[in-house]
Amino acid sequence: MSGSSEDTGTLWNFTLGVRFIPDILERARWRNTLMWHPHPRATVGVEYNPLADDVHPLLNLMLQQETEILPAVMLGTSSDRIGTPEGQAFFLTVAKDLQHRTGLPVAPYAGVTYGTYDSEFVFVGGLNLRLTDRLSAMGIFDGHRLHPTLTWTADNWSVGLILAFGDHLGMNATWRF
């Protein structure tokens, strides 16, 4: 999540995503997602991790769209963080693009997540930095570890790298159709 609520004028109905991180536990090694966007403020989908035969529902609701003053507020669920062998997570986050206030192309987010694997609430957060119109870097703190990413985005697809646990380089791709 970038914190930006900018409307591109195009609503893609589905997003297919895949992530592969070698040499980590099976559930997190190969992740596939399919998301349906029935409304600009809602996504519903499924996550399938074939190496662990693990399936999770995905849901993201934008409770408050970002305005010049107010941050975006999101509520949702997904599988628990990367380092867990099982579990579901439930989250509430706020995000705000700060470029118009700071002149810097940054969008932080922060929130709280409840993970069923550890049965605990943790604070999460991150910072998205737009390096160019198509290239962005993000630091994602999942409540336990920081996972840096680098993503190249085009009209309806993106490809990226993720550094999980500080030493496991993975790749991800999405296609919106």
Find all residues with CB under 8 Å of 146, minimum gap 6, and list them: 139, 140, 166
pLDDT mean over 72-76:
98
User: What CA–CA distance (Å, rounded) separates 74 from 1?
Assistant: 10
Question: Could you report the per-residue pLDDT of 78-111, keeping only the tens digit for each?
Answer: 999 998 999 999 999 999 999 999 999 999 999 9
Question: Could you report the per-residue pLDDT of 43-59, keeping only the tens digit for each?
Answer: 999 999 999 999 999 99
User: In the predicted model, is pLDDT for residue 1 greater than 90?
Assistant: no
Model's pTM, two decimal places?
0.88
CATH topology of domain 14-176: Porin (2.40.160)
Strand partners of residue 54: 49
User: What CA–CA distance (Å, rounded) separates 79 from 84?
Assistant: 9
pLDDT mean over 18-47:
96
Residue 23 is classified by DSSP as T
